[in-house]
Every structure is written in C-alpha cells, then in structure tokens.
C-alpha cells in the first residue's frame, strides 16, 4: 500500500517554491511520489530528484498531461484536500480501513469543480483557508498516526544526527 500526491495546476513562474515544498513534504512524511499537472518543469523535477539522491529513500516525481484521466485511472482511493471538505479527524478512520493505494490531490490557485466529484473523499484540515503544504503535512501525519516521524531513509548520502544545538551531518 502506497501514498502518492497529485499537485494540480503547477505554474513555473509562480509555483516553483510551493510545488517543491509539496514534493519535499510528501517525501519526508512517507509518500512514495508526487505527480503534478500544469506546466512541465524540469527544474522542479531536478530539485526533488536531487533531494532524493542526497537524503535517500524511494520517491519519484512525474508530470501528468491529463489530470482528469490520471485521477480516473488511479487504482485506489482518491482524497482531495480542500477547506470545504469533511474534517480530517472524522474521515481518516474510513480512509485508513481499506488497505488500498491512496492519491492525495492538492490544488493550486483555482481548483476545477470536477475534482470534487472525482474524489472518493473531500477532506478538510480545519475549515479555514491555508496552504497545500500544510494540509498535506497534516493529512499524512494523521494517516500515519505519527509513525512517519521516525521513518528511516535508505540509500542516503547524508544523515542528520540530531543535536541539542548546532548541526551535525554524516555521510553513512
């Protein structure tokens, strides 16, 4: 069972930073990969792939041309994160039950109405407007019940040794 993220409507000029953060959060919090629609961005892909090379784990990033077809064809549960959905704390037990792959869909500036219909669950992380990065992090944290916090990443070139103060990074 694996979790993937779909980030909708990437725009190279405006979303590089936030889409990169979606990818980094997805990886660090236990997802297996991120797909993105909108403009194909080789620099975004390079940033994520370089983080994977340096910090390890198995994680992929891929552009999708047709997000609607991609969501329809995804075999597993489709979860759309939106402030208008049902509270994460109430829906997560239902989502966790079937041991199926999960696609977590996060929007950009404007989310097409069809996404709400294509999703199996529309899930909110509070009913207040905030960010796809925060919503994704909290969703994954709730889904994994905190177990992602101690996750180990293999094939790593760098590893942080936690310190009370200062920085210690080793090359295992």
| Residues in contact with 144: Cβ distance below 8 Å, sequence separation at least 6, in sequence order | 29, 30
Q: Fill in the per-residue mask, 33 to 72: x = in contact with ligand SAM (CB under 6 A), - = not in contact.
A: ----------------------------------------
Which range binds ligand SAM by CB under 6 A, 51-59, 79-87, 89-97, 146-154? 79-87
113 forms part of the interface with ligand SAM (CB under 6 A): no
Q: Minimum Å distance from CB 110 to ligand SAM? A: 5
Is 52 or 136 the residue whose CB approaches ligand SAM more closely?
136
Out of 14, 90, 94, 130, name the contact with ligand SAM by CB under 6 A.
Answer: 130
The CA distance from 133 to 139, in Å, is 10
Out of 86, 92, 111, 118, name the contact with ligand SAM by CB under 6 A.
Answer: 111
106 forms part of the interface with ligand SAM (CB under 6 A): yes
129 forms part of the interface with ligand SAM (CB under 6 A): yes
Is 57 or 86 the residue whose CB approaches ligand SAM more closely?
86
HEC states along the chain? CCEEEEEEEECHHHHHHHHHHHHHHHHHCCCCEEEEEECCCHHHHHHHHHHHHHHCCCCEEEECCCHHHHHHHCCCEEEEEEEEEEEHHHHHHHHHCCCCCEEEEECCCCCCCHHHHHCCEEEECCCCCCCHHHHHHHHHHHHHCCHHHHCCCCCCCCEECCCCCCCCEECC
Q: Minimum Å distance from CB 111 to ligand SAM? A: 4
135 forms part of the interface with ligand SAM (CB under 6 A): yes
131 forms part of the interface with ligand SAM (CB under 6 A): yes
């Amino acid at each position: 069972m694996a979790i993937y993220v779909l980030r909708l409507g990437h725009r190279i000029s405006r979303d590089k930073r936030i889409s990169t953060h979606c990818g980094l959060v997805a990886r660090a919090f236990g997802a297996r990969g991120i797909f993105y629609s909108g403009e194909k961005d080789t620099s975004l892909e390079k940033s994520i792939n370089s983080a994977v090379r340096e910090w390890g784990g198995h994680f992929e990033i891929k552009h999708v041309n047709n997000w609607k077809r991609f969501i329809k064809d995804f075999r597993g549960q489709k979860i759309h994160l939106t402030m208008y959905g049902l509270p994460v704390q109430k829906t997560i037990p239902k989502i966790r039950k079937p041991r199926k792959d999960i696609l977590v869909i996060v929007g950009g500036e404007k989310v097409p109405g069809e996404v709400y219909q294509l999703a199996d669950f529309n899930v909110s992380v509070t009913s207040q407007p905030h960010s796809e990065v925060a919503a994704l992090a909290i969703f994954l944290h709730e889904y994994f019940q905190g177990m992602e916090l101690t996750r180990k990443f293999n094939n790593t070139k760098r590893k942080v040794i936690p310190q009370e103060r200062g920085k210690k990074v080793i090359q295992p």
